[in-house]
Amino acid sequence: MNHSLHLSTIRKMNLRIMPFITVLYLIAYIDRVSILVAVLQVNADLAMTTEMYGIAAGIFYVTYITSRCRATRC
């Protein structure tokens, strides 16, 4: 394969894929920030301490990872 053809193909792919990945990263960051803001209200409404919230988040994270691994067969 021609080296210049390879480089131009990679450049074209990057120009199409990178903006999309950047938007996805921004959405994930906004989601993470909104969850952190919501934690303050949830802790007050449910009368949870920060330790209780940490344990609940840890349990959720472990079950999320194990179910994701089973779904993708990692």
CA distances from 53 to 1, 27, 29 (A): 55, 24, 21
- Residue 7: both structure tokens together: 């480089």
pLDDT at residue 72, as a whole number: 64
pLDDT at residue 27, as a whole number: 86
Q: pLDDT 10s per residue in the chain (74 long)?
A: 688 888 998 899 889 998 998 898 888 788 777 777 778 788 888 888 888 888 888 888 888 778 766 656 65
pLDDT at residue 23, as a whole number: 92
Q: Is the full-model pTM beyond 0.75?
A: no
Report the alpha-carbon distance of residue 51 to residue 37 in Å, rounded. Answer: 17
Report the greatest alpha carbon distance in the chain: 65
Report the alpha-carbon distance of residue 4 to residue 20 in Å, rounded. Answer: 25
| Residues comprising the chain, all counted | 74
